Structure 1
Amino acid sequence: MSETVCRLIGEASKGGIVAVCDHASKRVPEGIELGVTPETLEKHVAWDIGTAGVCERLARRHHIPAMLCDISRLVIDMHREEESSGLIPTSSDGILIPGNIGANRDARLDAYHRPYHDMLGKWLDAVEPGLILSIHSFTPELESKPEEERPWELALLYNEDDRAAQHAIRLFSELGVTVGDNEPYSGKQLNATMNRHAEAKGRPYCAIEIRNDLIATETGQARYAAIIADVAGRVKLALDTEAQG
């Protein structure tokens, strides 16, 4: 498996729970000049802060293997369809990405996006998971919309298939977590990876958004990995029970 596109942590068992993280890395491959500052590459526009640590703990401590993208979403966004206008962003949350203006779209698709989704698809086909966790994080406040309130600690996104999400929303709420239901943005619009690899295949999934200030430290990452692993196990049990009818 190419380390330039993604990395896999843990061994999956058929029918089990797996995790996917499209925005785990801020890495910009050699030869690509985005024209942004090092400070920009630390911001949420470049990666989903904290998610790599959460997924590593899910895999190593809770036996939920994970596939993590190893390319910054400023290079190409794995969580967008190929034809999406946001695939190679020229600006993000008010920050200009000058190196992406006029970028060779097909070259980046061939080098990163297509190999990532090919690897992810083959992995999921081989594993036949009973539940997929798609792990993302969101910033407490957008720089371009500082007035917008984002009170949720965690949120579930979904498009057409909300089987797992509805169980998860209930279970997280019972643990005292402030949960968003298709907030702060909707899976009806932003669900590309799960649309392709879960909904299109009839696979249940939980697309989980965690507020990034809660997982910016190792302590926070460990806490939320434990909470998510607990809820995921109970969601899968509920789904299995329903399937047995």
Structure 2
Amino acid sequence: MIDNLPYRQVGAENVRPDGLMCVADHASNYVPQGIELGIDAKLMNEHIALDIGVEGIAERLSRRHDMPAHIACVSRLVCDFHRREDEPAVVPAESDGRLIPGNIGADKEARLNLFHRPYHRALGQMIDRIKPRMIVSVHSFTPSLETSDEKRPWQVGLLYNQDDRAARHAIRLFEEQGLTVGDNQPYSGKQLNATMDRHAEANGIPYCTVEIRQDQIATEAGQSRWAMMLADVMGRVALEV
């Protein structure tokens, strides 16, 4: 965390001609001092703690492709910014079959005040200032879940709730790149779309919630490749919505 803030904003002064900005809700595995999750430290480098590869992509989109970025600085296990305040998973007691003992009986209201509310307040202010033409929300997903043998063949997925304007264009453009693309896969934006529901759909702003399979972006080379592809594809989508 920088200055004890649960987020950081990179390139916030940039305004791209296509009006894009980036959001990364699950970019960090940081656990602030005073919070004990009670899990094996090795798990903090796995998907239950953060979206692997996403921070590198958001950084590159901002620094190399001039896309303003709002980036989380706290692990989803401390407070999940991609959940509504009234959802139990906003301070998860378990994740992908793993118990999070330190969150059982945790002071949820304190976590919301320290992390969730400042994060979303600052994101809303950034959107009001930049007035983006489209928001790109970047996430990553595992090739399979610990709790299931079902494989996830998609290299990238586009999630949406009610507003699928941008997603439809993005699905087509990614398929033209020769990729296997998920349409509301591996998760459905009808159930998991809290940040974009709040900041995009509620304000009539087109958006793409992009889920990239982790093996595509586990390395710096993969992150650079995907940042370049996202900047290109999302720039073209923004001109169509």
TM class by shorter-chain length? over 0.9
| Structure 1 counterpart of 2:159, from 146, 150, 157 | 157
Scaled by the length of structure 2, what TM-score is found?
Answer: 0.96
Structure 1 unaligned blocks of 5 or more: 240-245
| Structure 2 counterpart of 1:119, from 117, 122, 126 | 122
- 1:3 Cα shift? 4.8
Taking the TM superposition and a 5 Å limit, the aligned residue runs for 1:37-48 are: 37-48=40-51
| Count of residue correspondences | 238
- Which residue pairs with 2:24 in the alignment? 21
- 1:94 Cα shift? 1.2
Scaled by the length of structure 1, what TM-score is found?
Answer: 0.95
Identity %: 57
- 1:144 Cα shift? 1.0
- 1:2 Cα shift? 4.5
Is 1:92 the counterpart of 2:95 in the alignment? yes
Is 1:7 the counterpart of 2:11 in the alignment? no
- Which residue pairs with 2:204 in the alignment? 202
Alpha-carbon distance in structure 2 between the residues aligned to 1:71 and 1:176: 34
> Do 2:29 and 2:75's aligned partners in 1 also have CA atoms closer than 8 Å?
yes
Alpha-carbon distance in structure 1 between the residues aligned to 2:130 and 2:168: 24
Runs of 4+ off more than 3 Å: none
Alpha-carbon distance in structure 1 between the residues aligned to 2:216 and 2:34: 34
Taking the TM superposition and a 5 Å limit, the aligned residue runs for 1:1-245 are: 2-10=3-11, 11-13=13-15, 16-145=19-148, 147-239=149-241
Alpha-carbon distance in structure 2 between the residues aligned to 1:183 and 1:219: 25
- 1:12 Cα shift? 2.8
Structure 2 unaligned blocks of 5 or more: none
- 1:170-228 CA-partner distances (Å, limit 9, x unpaired): 00101111110000110000000000000000000000000011101000000011111
> Do 2:50 and 2:76's aligned partners in 1 also have CA atoms closer than 8 Å?
yes
**Residue 132 to residue 76, structure 1, CA distance change in 2 (3 Å):** same
> Do 1:90 and 1:97's aligned partners in 2 also have CA atoms closer than 8 Å?
yes
> Do 2:30 and 2:74's aligned partners in 1 also have CA atoms closer than 8 Å?
yes
What is the SS of the residue equivalent to 1:184?
A: coil
The 10-residue stretch of structure 1 (152-161 or 84-93) with the greater mean CA deviation from structure 2: 84-93
